[in-house]
């Protein structure tokens, strides 16, 4: 009896070892962009699994807010996913905390050779490269060509200056029984989080300002309590209460554009993917943002990172390498509309199909493209600034009220500078 038990135990042990040895390795990629996760990462995961039968790639995704919240908790708990897809500004804090792996030498070489230099600069920290740049979001102007034509405007001649933007918006705004039913331009006026400040930022750049101005000592202060900030806020107030080309009772953003309830709005390239599914028949163009004192916009940069505590870091980097194949870059541009940062891929077939996307690939030299600084309280700064802007946009009394506008900017700048001081990042 005892002998049988011993044999049984040995058999179970061998079986256990066999099961453990044959178990598939699992890597997890976590994304905050469902449209990319579905169209690209899942396809790539299936292909990768075919080439690596001993590996399972789990692609999980959430809406952006939930994704970032989960990542924060996962990093804090020491259980991050193997591959993190996120923006360079969100990851900055984790980078500073030493929670990410340096990119392997072959990936560093690849980045130097094949990735847009503009995008690559955001992955450097202390002279080393962390992560792999993958896609970029640049804000541009979307406009409805049919509406332009119907209002006697040249559909191939989008507004190039603020003056034209105002004039075109006035012609394109539509009223029924005194009620705005189509906005001339859809501005980001509401919502929680930092989105409102982010969408105001390009206008601020065009007026010659910025959100956070770098000081000679490498620190920052609010860059909008000046004439540029005044002009950018004043533009919104005038569009809302003088020209009345946008309002609170109608839809906004990409949804309004897809529903043809707005003639123009500013957003990133992902809207092209959104329009393919929500209104494939819409006749639209995409243009660089108009000029005031200068031309410019903002970009957000996204890539992959491997946490130090990733369970399978080698495989994680392998999957990231796999994702660089042209097939997935093309898929991303085609299906989601996000702009891949790999330069040595021929995107002409997609640009032929969606010619509007070409705007995102041709930024002139004098066109300023700003991005997040990557300092740790940036999200808090943007969110708090957004609160001031949301409140200001509701105030019709700010029309022809320069003192009122200056006061809003002064208070917002004081709050921003206060946060910078608290974090030891304030510079004169």
Partner 1 sequence: MEMRALKYISLGKAQRFFFIASVVLLLYSLFGILRLYPIFQMFRLSFYDFDLIGLKKEFIGLRNYLDLFHDTNFHIALRNTLLVVAISVPVTVGLSFVLALFYNARLRLRSFYQLIYFIPAIMPTAAVSLIWRWMYDPGYGLLNYILSWFGIGPVPWLVNEHIALYSVVLLWVWKWVGYYAILFLVGLQNIPEMYKDAAKVDGANWWQLLHYVILPLLKPVTLFILIIASTWAFRIFVPVYILTLGSQGAPGNAVRVIVYDMYENFFVFFRVGYASAEGFILFLIVAAFTFAQLRLTRASEVEGGV
Q: Of the two residues 225 and 328, which places its CB atom closer to partner 1 in the complex?
A: 225
Residues 378, 95: contact at Cβ < 8 Å? no
Compute the distance between CA of residue 320 and CA of residue 304 in angstroms, rounded to an integer: 7
Q: Of the two residues 67 and 342, which places its CB atom closer to partner 1 in the complex?
A: 67
> Which has the closest alpha carbon to 319: 309, 330, 328?
328
Compute the distance between CA of residue 186 and CA of residue 250 in angstroms, rounded to an integer: 9
Residues 85-114 that bind partner 1 (CB under 8 A): 93-94, 96-97, 99
Single out the segment in contact with partner 1 by CB under 8 A; choices: 186-194, 283-291, 303-311, 342-350.
Answer: 186-194
Chosen residue from 49, 164, 255, 311 binding partner 1 by CB under 8 A: 255
Residues 259-278 that bind partner 1 (CB under 8 A): 259, 261
Minimum CB–partner distance for residue 334 and partner 1 (Å)? 25
Minimum CB–partner distance for residue 99 and partner 1 (Å)? 7
x-or-dash string of contact with partner 1, 162-181, rule CB under 8 A: -----------------x--
x-or-dash string of contact with partner 1, 363-382, rule CB under 8 A: -------------xx-xx--
Q: Of the two residues 31 and 363, which places its CB atom closer to partner 1 in the complex?
A: 31
Q: Of the two residues 251 and 325, which places its CB atom closer to partner 1 in the complex?
A: 251
Residues 324, 110: contact at Cβ < 8 Å? yes
Q: Of the two residues 82 and 378, which places its CB atom closer to partner 1 in the complex?
A: 378
Q: How many residues in total does the chain contain? A: 428
Minimum CB–partner distance for residue 313 and partner 1 (Å)? 19
Minimum CB–partner distance for residue 422 and partner 1 (Å)? 9
Residues 291-350 that bind partner 1 (CB under 8 A): none
> Which has the closest alpha carbon to 129: 101, 97, 98, 99?
101
Count other Cβ atoms within 10 Å, centred on residue 250: 16
> Which has the closest alpha carbon to 134: 74, 83, 72?
83
Compute the distance between CA of residue 355 and CA of residue 358 in angstroms, rounded to an integer: 6
Chosen residue from 54, 112, 248, 346 binding partner 1 by CB under 8 A: 248
Residue with tokens 């050779």: 113
Minimum CB–partner distance for residue 260 and partner 1 (Å)? 12
* DSSP 8-class letter at 400: T
Single out the segment in contact with partner 1 by CB under 8 A; choices: 2-10, 118-126, 253-261, 327-335.
Answer: 253-261
Minimum CB–partner distance for residue 394 and partner 1 (Å)? 6
Please give the sequence-ordered ranges of beta strands (E in DSSP) within 140-239, or none if there are none: 140-144, 174-176, 179-182, 212-214, 220-222
Compute the distance between CA of residue 212 and CA of residue 156 in angstroms, rounded to an integer: 35
Collect all residues with Cβ–Cβ distance below 8 Å to 57 and sequence separation of at least 6.
26, 27, 28, 29, 44, 45, 48, 49, 319
Q: Kindly report the CA angle at 286 between 280 and 289, in degrees rounded to 5?
A: 150
x-or-dash string of contact with partner 1, 195-214, rule CB under 8 A: x-------------------
Residues in binding contact with partner 1, number by CB under 8 A: 41
Instruction: Give a three-class secondary structure readout of 54-85.
Output: CEEEEEEECCHHHHHHHHHHHHHHCCCCCEEE
Radius of gyration of the chain (CA): 25
Chosen residue from 58, 128, 391, 407 binding partner 1 by CB under 8 A: 391
404 binds partner 1 (CB under 8 A): no
Residues 50-79 that bind partner 1 (CB under 8 A): 63, 65, 68-69, 72-73, 75-76
Binding site for partner 1 (CB under 8 A): 63, 65, 68-69, 72-73, 75-76, 93-94, 96-97, 99, 179, 188-193, 195, 248-253, 255, 259, 261, 376-377, 379-380, 383-384, 386-387, 390-391, 394
């Amino acid at each position: 009896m005892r002998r049988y038990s011993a044999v049984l135990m040995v058999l179970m042990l061998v079986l256990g070892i066999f099961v453990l040895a044959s178990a598939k390795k699992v890597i997890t990629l976590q994304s905050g962009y469902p449209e990319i996760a579905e169209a690209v990462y899942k396809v790539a995961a299936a292909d990768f699994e075919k080439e690596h039968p001993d590996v399972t790639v789990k692609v999980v995704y959430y809406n952006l807010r939930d994704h970032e919240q989960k990542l924060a908790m996962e990093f804090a708990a020491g259980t991050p996913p193997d591959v993190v897809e996120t923006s360079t500004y969100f990851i900055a804090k984790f980078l500073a905390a030493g929670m990410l792996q340096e990119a392997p030498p072959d990936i560093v070489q690849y980045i130097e050779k094949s990735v847009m230099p503009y995008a690559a600069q955001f992955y450097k920290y202390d002279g080393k490269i962390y992560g792999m740049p993958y896609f970029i979001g640049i804000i541009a102007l979307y406009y409805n060509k049919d509406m332009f034509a119907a209002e006697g405007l040249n559909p191939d001649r989008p507004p190039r200056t603020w003056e034209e933007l105002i004039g075109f918006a006035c012609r394109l705004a539509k009223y029924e029984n005194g009620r705005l039913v189509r906005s001339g331009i859809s501005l980001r006026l509401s919502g929680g989080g930092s989105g409102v400040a982010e969408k105001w930022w390009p206008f601020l750049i065009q007026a010659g300002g910025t959100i956070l101005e770098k000081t000679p000592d490498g620190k920052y202060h609010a860059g909008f309590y000046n004439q540029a900030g005044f002009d950018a806020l004043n533009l919104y107030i005038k569009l809302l209460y003088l020209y009345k080309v946008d309002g609170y009772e109608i839809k906004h953003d990409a949804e309004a554009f897809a529903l043809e309830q707005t003639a123009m709005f500013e957003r990133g390239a992902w809207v092209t993917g959104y329009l393919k599914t929500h209104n494939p028949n819409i006749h639209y163009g995409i243009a660089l943002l108009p000029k005031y004192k200068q031309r410019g916009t903002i970009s957000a940069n996204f890539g992959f990172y491997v946490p130090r505590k990733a369970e399978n870091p080698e495989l994680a980097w392998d999957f990231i390498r796999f994702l660089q194949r042209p097939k997935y870059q093309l898929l991303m541009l085609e299906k989601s509309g996000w702009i891949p940062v790999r330069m040595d891929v021929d995107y002409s077939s997609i640009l032929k199909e969606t010619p509007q996307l070409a705007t995102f690939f041709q930024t002139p030299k004098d066109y300023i493209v700003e991005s997040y600084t990557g300092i740790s309280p940036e999200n808090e700064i943007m969110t708090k600034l957004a609160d001031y802007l949301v409140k200001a946009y509701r105030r019709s009394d700010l029309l022809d009220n320069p003192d009122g506008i200056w006061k809003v900017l002064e208070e917002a700048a004081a709050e921003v500078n206060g946060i910078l001081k608290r974090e030891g990042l304030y510079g004169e």
